[in-house]
Amino acid sequence: MSEENKIQIFEDKKIRTAWNESEEEWYFSIVDVIAVLTDSNEPRRYWSDLKRKLKAEGANQLYENIVQLKMSSPKDGKNYKTDVANTEQLLRIIQSIPSPKAEPFKMWLAEVGRERIDETIDPELTIERALETYLKKGYSREWINQRLQAIQVRKELTDEWDSRGEKQGVKYAILTNKITKAG
């Protein structure tokens, strides 16, 4: 695990983060997030109490998958093992924090959940959401159409590979990567 520590700022408060190169995923200091969302003077104690609450709620898998990384302490600058969570774990933890500052995150999670359920019922909504996202990011309609066509071609090709018994893995990823770059 690459522990390239970074600091993220939220409402002028620091949240320590680390990038895991092999998983391509960010990890966030749980006590830092709790300090920001609760204004608690004792975020470590809050986290300790919250762990018990999560366990009582049946979130044992979440609790068991929390890892510790060495992160620089804001108090003395020394590195100490700190409970960290990936994005999915962190969002689940935030759901259990009763705080006005956590409420916008909870509302956003509810909205995303509703959208995903709607997309399950009507998959065309997924395409519409992708179009809207690309437009918001500033891509041209021409680029978006080319991108969607490239995705369709890649999907057809990988379906053909699947039907011929090609197993997904490193070779599979290399082939799809070369096709994507060529397009």
Same-domain pairing of 18 and 69? yes
Same-domain pairing of 91 and 143? no
Same-domain pairing of 115 and 134? no
Kindly report, residue by residue over 96-124, the tens digit of the pLDDT. 999 998 898 889 889 988 999 999 999 99
Does residue 68 contact residue 18 with C-beta atoms inside 8 Å? no
Q: How do strand 4-10 and strand 25-29 relate by DSSP bridges? A: unpaired
Range of the domain at 141: 124-182
Among the three residues 120, 140, 170, which one is the final residue of a domain in this structure?
120
pTM for the model:
0.67
Among the three residues 120, 149, 168, which one is the final residue of a domain in this structure?
120
Name the residue with tokens 């041209």.
140
Among the three residues 120, 137, 159, which one is the final residue of a domain in this structure?
120
> What percent of the chain is modeled with pLDDT above 70?
89
Same-domain pairing of 29 and 113? yes
Give the integer Cα–Cα distance in Å for 30 and 70.
13
Domain count along the chain: 2
Question: What's residue 122's pLDDT?
Answer: 94
The answer to whether residue 67 scores a pLDDT higher than 80 is yes
The answer to whether residue 10 scores a pLDDT higher than 70 is no
Counts for the chain of helices (H) and strands (E), in that order: 8, 5
Here the tokens at position 154 are 């890649």
How far is the CA of 89 from the CAs of 14, 47, 84, in angstroms? 19, 14, 9
Here the tokens at position 13 are 């408060």
Under DSSP, the state recorded for 76 is T
Assign 54 a pLDDT band (cuts: 50, 70, 90).
Answer: confident
Over residues 51-71, mean pLDDT: 85
Here the tokens at position 47 are 């986290």
Same-domain pairing of 52 and 103? yes
Same-domain pairing of 114 and 128? no
DSSP-assigned states of every residue in 110-176: HHHHHHHHHHHH-THHHHHHHHHHHHHTT--HHHHHHHHHHHHHHHHHHHHHHHTTPPSSHHHHHHH
Residue of higher predicted confidence among 69 and 12 = 69
Over residues 43-51, mean pLDDT: 93
How far is the CA of 155 from the CAs of 51, 146, 159, 160, 172, in angstroms? 42, 14, 6, 9, 12
Does residue 128 contact residue 119 with C-beta atoms inside 8 Å? no
Same-domain pairing of 84 and 158? no
Same-domain pairing of 111 and 130? no
Kindly report, residue by residue over 130-154, the tens digit of the pLDDT. 899 999 999 999 999 888 888 888 8
Same-domain pairing of 158 and 99? no
- The contacts of residue 130 (CB under 8 Å, 6+ apart) are 148
Same-domain pairing of 90 and 68? yes
